[in-house]
Amino acid sequence: MKKSEIRFSIALDDQKVPEAISWQATDAGPDIHFAKAINIALWDRDQAGTMKIDLWTKDMPVDEMKHFYVDTIGAMAESLQTATSDTVMVKKMRELCQELMNHINEEAEKGGSN
């Protein structure tokens, strides 16, 4: 059986706020990759529930964070389509992404990021 590993390394400041996030994966070659944010969700088979890890560096701008979450929802919709073929849920998730992008674009036009 082939094994694949993903390793995350988080550099923290004195207040334990992430300053840098790096990762390596056996299937991604030997290079170290850097990220401003990570969002990991695991389905715990014993607890039958979701466990999450959300981290972002202090240099992650609010507008990029919003795009990150919309992209995450969109990627989840694609995965859900592949895993379940539930077109209703996938359509609703895609519609939500469009609504959120409209909101982000409206904010950008107004010059705000709330």
Q: How confident is the model at residue 111 (pLDDT cuts 50, 70, 90)?
A: confident
Residue 23 has pLDDT above 80, yes or no: yes
What mean pLDDT is predicted for residues 33-48?
Answer: 95
Residue 78 has pLDDT above 90, yes or no: yes
Kindly report the average pLDDT of the chain as a whole number. 95
Arithmetic mean of pLDDT, 65-84: 97
Give me the residue spans of the domains in the chain: 1-59, 61-113
Angstrom distance (rounded) from CA 28 to CA 13: 28
pTM for this structure?
0.85
Q: Which of the four pLDDT bands, split at 50, 70 and 90, describes residue 6? A: very high
User: What mean pLDDT do residues 99-113 have?
Assistant: 90
Measured CA to CA in angstroms, residue 95 lies from 41, 73, 82, 100, 109 at distances of 22, 10, 18, 9, 21
C-alpha–C-alpha distance, residues 82 and 85, integer Å: 6
Per-residue pLDDT of 52-72, as tens digits, reads 999 999 999 999 999 999 999
